[in-house]
Structures are given as structure tokens and as C-alpha cells.
Amino acid sequence: MYVKGKIIEQRKLRSEYNILIIEQAEIARKARPGQFIMLQAWERGDIVLPRPFSLYRILPAKGQLHILYKIRGKATLEMSRRIPGEEVKLIGPLGNGADLPETGNIALLGRGIGAAPLMAIAETAYNRGLVVYTFLSARKRELIPGVVDFTRYSSKVVLSTDDGEENEGRLLTVLLEELITKEGIKIKTVFTCGSKRLAQGLLPMETKYNFRAYVLLEEVMACGIGSCKGCVCKVRTPGTPEGHAYKRVCKDGPVFPASEVIW
């Protein structure tokens, strides 16, 4: 769906993070957590491609979408200059989205801006009565976004920062393992985003603790809808001669079983 949206709010967080709140009722109604949009919040100029952003919060009742974004290059810089009332163009909702279990506990492991799509998963899971455990890391405390909101939807939010301020900078996978082993919490599904190392760290734990781990991938995108074949990742695919194939992050993902991704 290619539609216009209106900016409701441009909220500056600490560090390079911003939250953009967009009024777009149709997408807000249709979207599921783990999905994303292709956004264009600038006039053509020298920027040719729209940019993919996860849905940080989906508020169908208000007809709103929240985007948590980090200023990285020229498109996100332009984005940060938009003010309430201005129009943006969106394509979405896109991607497969996250499949939540019917019941049970889920864990979310995010690094840095990788927390963005996890928020929508946390909120949806919480609303469906699942119990959510959230683990977030970054270089330093102020680079972990949305802790207050995560706390609202999670039974527990565990932080770790490389500078040692939080949890001595220990690995989130280790902290998850402690939750499972020390506190005896059973986890059914894990979603992770923002760090290859995190996703790989989950692999040996899957069978050990009997959970399914999913990773939300990112790849540079042109179309976002599956037509350009630009955004591929390598995925184990039985039945192909090589045993793997390229899958499109935008259409076959962005959520993949962690064990199927070939890094």
C-alpha cells in the first residue's frame, strides 16, 4: 500500500535517537509487529530510494505509527528535520512480521537501535497475555532506547552496557541463560535484532533450553516489496543443490528462524 501520512510528533530522545509519530490509520490497522514500512520523509533531491524502518509502536486505535530511528546518513538527517503537520509517504505494512506463540513466555534480545521492532512485539505480546522478558544492550546506557516503555510491557527488563555501567557489560545471551537456569523461567520463543553475535549466541541455546529463536534481519533495500531482489540474505534451504538460497529480507523476512540464517 502506497499512502500518505502526517507527522504528529518529532520526539528527540537522548543521543542520536528520535521518535517519529505518523498518522496513517490504514497501515496502523493492518500492521503486525515485526513488519516495517518504506518511508520517504524528504523531497526527491539527491535521495533516490525510500528507507526501511521497523514499526516501533502500532496504535490502530489512534491510527498512529511510531518509528524509532537513529540519525545515520542523509535520509535520516532529513527525517529529523521534519516537523508536525508535514506529510510523508509510506509503503506498507511490509514483511512477514513476527509470529507469536499462543501462550507462554517470550524473550526479546536487542542491541542498540535493534530494540526498535522489539517494542511492537513486546506490546502486542503483553496485550495478548504473554509474559515478556526483555534484554537490551548498547555501548552505553543512553544508547539503549525505550526502557520505560519496555518496562511497561515486560515482566523484567535486563540491561547491559559495554562500558560496564549496566550488568558489567555481560552478554545478553548469558543473562538470558541466567534467567532460565537460575530463576527457572521457561522461554518458548526468542526474538533478537541488532547484532549478529547475539543471534549466533542463541543458536546453541535453542535445543539446550528448548526455545525457538528468530532474528530480525536488515539489508539495504530498494523496493521493499520483493520486486528488485536487492535485499537478500543467505538462508539454509533443503532441496536446493547448494543447500541454501538467497531470500529477500523485505518479503521472505525480515523475521527468520535464527538457525536458518547463514551469516
Partner 1 sequence: MKDLDLTSELVPGLKLKNPVMPASGTYDYGDGANAFNPSLLGAIVTKSVSAFPRSGNAPPRIHETPCGILNAVGIPSEGVEAFRRNTLPGLKQYNTALIVSVAGETPEDFAQVISCLEEENGIGAYELNFSCPNLGDGIPFGTNPELLYLAVKQIRKVASRPLIVKLSPNVVDIKLMARQAQDAGADILTVANTLTGMAIDVRRRQPVLGNIFGGLSGPAIKPVALRMVWEVAGAVDIPVIGVGGITDTTDALEFIMAGARAIQVGTANFANPKVMLEIIEGIESYMEENGFTRLADIVGLARR
User: Binds 44, which of ligand FAD, a copy of itself, ligand FES, none (CB < 5 to 8 A, cut-off by type)?
Assistant: a copy of itself
In this structure, what C-alpha cell is assigned to residue 19? 521518535
> Can you tell me which of 13, 25, 49, 232 binds ligand FAD, judged by CB under 6 A?
49
> Can you tell me which of 5, 21, 33, 45 binds a copy of itself, judged by CB under 8 A?
45
Q: What amino acid is encoded at 128 in this protein?
A: R
Residue ranges of E strands in 47-195: 51-54, 57-59, 64-70, 87-94, 105-111, 131-138, 156-161, 189-193
Of 53-61, 141-149, 234-242, 243-251, the window that binds ligand FES (rule: CB under 6 A) is 243-251
Q: What amino acid is encoded at 113 in this protein?
A: I
- Give the residue among 118, 111, 100 at the shortest CA–CA distance from 36: 118
> Can you tell me which of 74, 128, 197, 229 binds ligand FAD, judged by CB under 6 A?
74
DSSP state of 113: G
> Can you tell me which of 29, 39, 44, 68 binds a copy of itself, judged by CB under 8 A?
44
Q: H-helix or E-strand containing 212?
A: strand 212-216
Cα–Cα distance measured from residue 48 to residue 223, given in angstroms and rounded to the nearest whole number: 11
- Give the residue among 225, 179, 177 at the shortest CA–CA distance from 201: 177
Query: Rounded to the nearest whole angstrom, what is the least distance from the CB of residue 111 to ligand FES in the complex?
Result: 23
> Can you tell me which of 19, 31, 106, 113 binds ligand FAD, judged by CB under 6 A?
113
Q: What amino acid is encoded at 146 in this protein?
A: G
Of 90-98, 158-166, 198-206, 222-230, the window that binds ligand FMN (rule: CB under 6 A) is 222-230
Question: Contact, 64 vs 54, CB < 8 A?
Answer: no
- Give the residue among 141, 159, 161, 138 at the shortest CA–CA distance from 150: 159
Q: H-helix or E-strand containing 248?
A: strand 244-248
Query: Rounded to the nearest whole angstrom, what is the least distance from the CB of residue 65 to ligand FES in the complex?
Result: 20
Cα–Cα distance measured from residue 1 to residue 66, given in angstroms and rounded to the nearest whole number: 18
Task: Check residue 13 for interaction with ligand FES (CB under 6 A).
Answer: no
Scanning residues 43 to 102, which ones bind partner 1 (CB under 8 A)? 44, 46-50, 89, 91
Query: Rounded to the nearest whole angstrom, what is the least distance from the CB of residue 46 to a copy of itself in the complex?
Result: 4
Query: Rounded to the nearest whole angstrom, what is the least distance from the CB of residue 64 to ligand FES in the complex?
Result: 25
Residues near ligand FAD (CB under 6 A): 36, 49, 51-54, 68-70, 72-76, 113, 116, 218-221, 254
Residues near ligand FES (CB under 6 A): 221-224, 226-231, 248, 250-251
Residues near partner 1 (CB under 8 A): 1-2, 40, 44, 46-50, 89, 91, 219-234, 242, 245-246
